[in-house]
């Protein structure tokens, strides 16, 4: 399985925690949008840690658990 890592580094600026989170999310969203054409339709983006995001296809067991959770949350299951 191929794995690619991208980094975005900012220096010489002081960011608040809120600004850092907002920028991190924007970078992740831009990355996910750029990858939309090359990742499968069932790929998901997941916040893993502070300014760290993962995008890929979760294992079947996690996908099924997520579907069950969503069904309960929406009253569909």
pLDDT at 63: 84
pLDDT in tens, 4-63: 888 888 899 999 999 998 998 888 888 878 887 888 888 888 888 877 888 888 888 888
pLDDT in tens, 48-74: 887 788 888 888 888 889 889 999 999
Give the residue extent of every domain in the chain: 17-74
Residue 14 to residue 10: CA distance in whole angstroms = 9
Closest Cα partner for 25 from 60, 44, 50? Answer: 50
Tell me, yes or no, if the pTM score tops 0.85. no
pLDDT at 16: 95
For residues 30, 36, 37, 42, the Cα torsion angle rounded to the nearest 10 degrees is 170
């Amino acid at each position: 399985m191929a794995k690619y890592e991208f980094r975005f580094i900012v220096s010489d600026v002081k960011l608040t925690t809120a600004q850092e989170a907002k920028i991190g999310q924007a970078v992740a969203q831009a990355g996910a949008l750029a990858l939309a054409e090359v990742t499968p339709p069932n790929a998901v983006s997941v916040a893993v840690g502070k300014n760290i995001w993962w995008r890929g296809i979760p294992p079947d067991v996690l996908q099924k658990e997520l579907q069950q959770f969503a069904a309960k949350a929406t009253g569909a299951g």
